[in-house]
Chain A
Amino acid sequence: MDSLNQAKIQKFEEFVDRRLKPDLVRAIAERDKVFEQQKIFSDLRKNIENLEQNSVTNLRTLVNLGSEVYMQAEVPDTQRIFLDIGLGFHVEFTWSEALKFISLREEKLERQIEEYTRLIASIKAQIKLVCEGIRELLQIPEEKTVEGRVF
């Protein structure tokens, strides 16, 4: 029986290490990406609101030409803004439209984050399950009559 147990334990451990843990890592990475996107859009929103509040029409910025070489740029009319709506498209918006769009976008991102969080949680639960199984297999041979030790 012991050898069988050992084999089972080994299988469980392998399963955890090879499938579950990498899955967990991947899921976390994806979620982080979405977090980033969310941050970008929230920053954008804040900036636009700022511009609106101060009624800024002209804008002077420094544009990065590459390798941290900057050049002055001027935006004469800040009424129009082009937003990236995904799939390589940029759409012209006015400020209010832009703000609406951004809020929609943010909602979508939040939903994505929630999904990822759920996925991560389930993977973690699976890992825990397998570990418990291993522990059971290990402890039953040792303590044959012990029950309800989970407290």
Chain B
Amino acid sequence: MEKPEVKGTVTSLSSMFPAEEVQKAANRVAETLSEKQNEMNQLREFIADNTSLINLVQKLPEELHHDIMVPFGKAAFFPGRLIHTNEFLVLLGESYYVERTAKQTVEILKRRGKSLESKMDALEAFMQDLKAEASFFDSTASEAAEDLVEIKEEYEEENSTETESQSGELEQESPSFAEADNTMVASEDDEFAHIMSRLEALEKEELAAESYGENDEDQDTGAAVSDGDEDEDEQAKAVFHRKKYEGYSSLDHDQRYSEVYQSRKPLQQLKGKDSMNEETSSKYHHQDLISQLACTGLTVEPVIKGKMSHSQSMPQETKMLNPSINASVPFEKRVKFEAEHSSRNETSKSGFDSSKAFTGSIVEHTLNLEKASPGQTTSQFSGSQTSKPVSRFKMQRK
């Protein structure tokens, strides 16, 4: 899938992370780690002392007096007895003492023990992080020593696969996510055209589809329509189908819903945006948008949705989606897009009646779906993206 010409940049890891500095960083982390280890040992001692003291305090009231050697300074003892064996003078700090019975003292000590333990847990968590950091530094150091290189290539539409080996950096997003990002970085115009064409195609299909069983085919045809976009579409569809068969009926629904919706939104926006109602130009834009969306929205959304299936934290999804979109595309374009999204909510609303039919078709098309779920999913979905045109959608559905 890679083009024969060298398009990307090759940077040696060792130049990015100079070996010495990595060593220094690793040493620093090791030092901090040992410090924390010492603190932890100290805490453990305190806790042990505390527990032994609790035992002692519990045992003492058993007798009226205890014969002991009473210390007198540091180097002398007096033989004597412990009296008032149920009365304890406890230091609370800041020279405040309280006289307590054995039971009350035990409670005080237990509370102290709890706070010590919580401190220890926090310290342990901190140490875990430090250890992770240390291991990361070590691996980076070894990799830098091995002369690993980082290869970056700009994404082009025809390529759906990217070669990006980022050994040192943590990939916090899913692979498709990253891919989508890289997609955006590459030639946006082409993608834009792609997306636009795709959107256009989808829209047409929806308009045409009054019956339920058409959507799938429409999607397929839509895929065929957008030229050169096969990989993305296949990917999107693959992801989509995968998700579909996951058995999350409502979520599949949601997915589908959101995916198509996502593709629809920019479509609507673009329609109103340039006042270019000529097929060709808008189509061009749509194409771009479609391809863009195919990468970000379509591929990402389902993935996100799949992830989200376990938690209802929809707002997160929005955030996840937005950064990917925003980060990948040249900011102006995307921002404009987003801005128009929100601004053109109302305008495009009126001009787009097929959404009704569209949603109907979606309902039907998901696998184990009942008609009741659309309402659910709508509310679910709309709840997530309040600022987006989803609300409009929701209104239409309701």
Partner-B contacts on A (CB < 8 A): 40-41, 43-44, 47, 59, 61-63, 65-78, 80-84, 90, 98
Contact = CB atoms under 8 A, between A and B. Distances in A.
A71 B56 CA distance: 12
Given A68-B91, A71-B82, A71-B89, A47 B72 contact: yes
A80 B105 CA distance: 33
Contacts, number: 97
Interface in B66-103: 68-85, 87-91, 97
A65 B75 CA distance: 17
B84 to A, nearest CB: 5
B80 A69 contact: no
Interface of B: 49-50, 52-53, 56-57, 60, 68-85, 87-91, 97, 105, 109, 112
Given A68-B90, A69-B57, A80-B79, A75 B70 contact: yes
B84 A72 contact: yes
A63 B76 contact: no
28 contacts: A40-B73, A40-B75, A41-B75, A44-B72, A44-B73, A44-B76, A59-B78, A61-B80, A62-B89, A63-B71, A67-B50, A69-B53, A69-B88, A70-B97, A71-B85, A71-B88, A73-B68, A73-B70, A73-B80, A74-B83, A75-B79, A76-B81, A80-B79, A81-B77, A82-B69, A82-B76, A82-B78, A84-B76
A43 B76 CA distance: 11
Given A70-B90, A75-B70, 12 more contacts: A44-B76, A61-B72, A68-B91, A71-B87, A72-B82, A72-B87, A73-B70, A74-B82, A77-B79, A78-B78, A81-B76, A83-B76
A75 B53 contact: no
Nearest to A46: B73
A115 B338 CA distance: 83
A66 B83 CA distance: 17
A73 B76 CA distance: 15
B55 to A, nearest CB: 11
A81 B89 contact: no
A41 B105 CA distance: 34
Nearest to A79: B78
B82 A82 contact: no
A103 B196 CA distance: 101
User: Closest 7 CB pairs between A and B?
Assistant: A68-B91, A75-B80, A70-B89, A82-B77, A84-B75, A75-B78, A72-B84
A2 B56 CA distance: 72
A142 B260 CA distance: 87
Contact of B82 (A44, A47, A63, A76): A63
A80 B69 CA distance: 11
A67 B49 contact: yes
Nearest to A59: B78
A145 to B, nearest CB: 48
Contacts of B97: 70
B82 A66 contact: no
A43 B73 contact: yes
Given A69-B89, A69-B91, A74 B53 contact: no
Nearest to A66: B53
B56 A65 contact: yes
A44 B81 contact: no
A74 B67 CA distance: 10
A40 B68 contact: no
Contact of B90 (A47, A69, A73, A77): A69
B86 to A, nearest CB: 9
B78 A80 contact: yes
Contacts of B74: 40
